[in-house]
Amino acid sequence: MKTSLTLGTSLKRRIEIDRDRTIDFMGDELRVYSTPNMVSDMEYTCRDLIMDHAEDDEDSVGAHVSVDHLAPTLLGMWVDVTATVTAVEGSRISFDVEVHDTIEPDGHGQHV
C-alpha cells in the first residue's frame, strides 16, 4: 500500500438509483434503493478508495460491515456515497461511510 492512504482520506461517488438497485416485492410504484445494494455501493466505494492508493499487485476484500439504512431513496434519484478512512493498521483499513440522497441521509456505517 502506498503511504498516500492516510487517516481522513475520502472518496465520494455519485450513483443513480436505477431499477437494478431497487426492491421489486412491493410493486413498481414503491421501488426504493435496497439495503443489499446500498451495502454493495458502500463496500465498492471503500474498495475504489483503497485501489487509488494500492500498488499494482494489490487488491482488497472486505472483512466487516455494519450499516444502518435510515430512509428510502426512490428509483431515479441519486445518492452520494462518501467513504472516509478512520484507521490504517498495516493491511487492515477501516472506514466510516455515509450515503445521502437529494433529500436526507439515507444510510451510514463502518467497513473494514
The pLDDT of residue 1 is above 90 = no
Could you state, in order of their start, the residue ranges of all structural domains in the chain? 10-111
The whole-number pLDDT of residue 90 equals 87
Reported as a single tens digit per residue, the pLDDT across 91-108 is: 899 999 999 999 999 999
Lowest mean pLDDT among 1-10, 32-41, 80-89, 92-101: 1-10
Q: Do the Cβ atoms of 83 and 45 come closer than 8 Å?
A: yes
Mean per-residue pLDDT of the chain:
95
Q: Do the Cβ atoms of 110 and 64 come closer than 8 Å?
A: yes
The verdict on domain 10-111 having CATH code 3.10.129.10 is yes
The pLDDT of residue 28 is above 90 = no
- The mean pLDDT value for 28-51 works out to 96
